Structure 1
Amino acid sequence: MTHIDPPISDKAVAAVFAGFPRPARDGTLLLRSIIFEIADRDERVGGVSETLKWRQPSYLPIAKNVGTPIRLGVPKAGGFALFVHCQTTVINEFRTLFSGDFEFDGNRAVLFDSKASIEIEKITLLINRALTYRL
């Protein structure tokens, strides 16, 4: 997988990333890159829009009624996380596949402690599922 690193055009989003502690920033920027790559590869998604939701970078497919937003953030306990809407089945489906491989926060997030803890092949499945959740 070749990572796409488009510039962050929204100053508020850039400020949030800049405010993350260094290890969390590195990890969330890697997740951001994977999100953009998957969205660009799947024409059904039509790319993603990058905004802030609940003061976290948020990624929503540009195509209407295709997926659910993905948010990136830093939980109070530390590390960093990839969040999806808690009323979707995305996290529960991912937990069923990879229960021993990741730490979860209920049905809303996958938690990471470092950039090295991101298993790219597996997290790609989660991101793809979120971006195409309604299909």
Structure 2
Amino acid sequence: MRKPANRATSKPRTQATAAGPAQTLFGGYPAPIKAKLLALRRLIFDTAKTTEGVGALQETLKWGQPSYLTVETGSGSTVRIDQVKPAANQVAVYFHCQTNLVETFRELYPELSYSGNRAILLDVKNKLPEAALRHCVALALTYHLRRKPDRGT
């Protein structure tokens, strides 16, 4: 009989399987799209690691798109990434459309391009606006933490 794994850690962890369904999906994109999506994937995992309260992310497919969920803590809203179809030169970071996330992002970062109330659009040939994206992803991954009512006051 094996001892149960010690789950107590002082640092939040992120996890992704090397050959999971999302990883398999990345191989089907044209090289420039794949490179941009993998850069976004790294940014999402790095942001989760450095954002208090997020915990481990689960990488999965939702609607056929690489998706990142805060299943360990339930702290945030799902973040998805994909190529914008039929545009061959754009990718998007998608957020739940029934939140106020994209509305908030528009106020904070009017220089970014958006699609309705659901996505930040990015040109494949342009450099990622990393600081803005990290902040937006952090806000999404902690969305439910800010939505919880105060207790005890």
Question: Does the alignment reach a TM-score above 0.5?
Answer: yes
CA RMSD of aligned residues (A): 1.7
Scaled by the length of structure 2, the TM-score of the pair is 0.77
Identical aligned pairs, as a percentage?
A: 36
Residue number in structure 2 paired with 1:3: none
Q: Which of 56, 61, 78 is the aligned partner of 1:47? A: 56
Shift of 1:64: 3.3
Q: Which protein has greater RCO, CA pairs closer than 8 Å, 6+ apart?
A: 1
Residue number in structure 2 paired with 1:74: 83
Q: Any unmatched runs of 5+ in structure 2?
A: 1-14, 146-153
Q: Which of 85, 100, 109 is the aligned partner of 1:98? A: 109
Shift of 1:12: 1.9
Larger Rg: 2
In structure 2, what is the Cα distance between the partners aligned to 1:17 and 1:28?
Answer: 8
In structure 2, what is the Cα distance between the partners aligned to 1:66 and 1:7?
Answer: 18
Residue number in structure 2 paired with 1:29: 38
In structure 2, what is the Cα distance between the partners aligned to 1:70 and 1:19?
Answer: 20
What does the per-residue CA deviation read over 1:99-123, in whole Å, with 9 as the maximum and x for residues that have no partner?
Answer: 1x21111010011112633110111
Opposite residue 67 of structure 2, the aligned amino acid is: S
In structure 1, what is the Cα distance between the partners aligned to 2:82 and 2:66?
Answer: 7
In structure 2, what is the Cα distance between the partners aligned to 1:65 and 1:7?
Answer: 17
Scaled by the length of structure 1, the TM-score of the pair is 0.87
Opposite residue 9 of structure 1, the aligned amino acid is: A
Shift of 1:27: 1.1
More displaced stretch, 7-16 vs 28-37: 7-16
Residue number in structure 2 paired with 1:134: 144
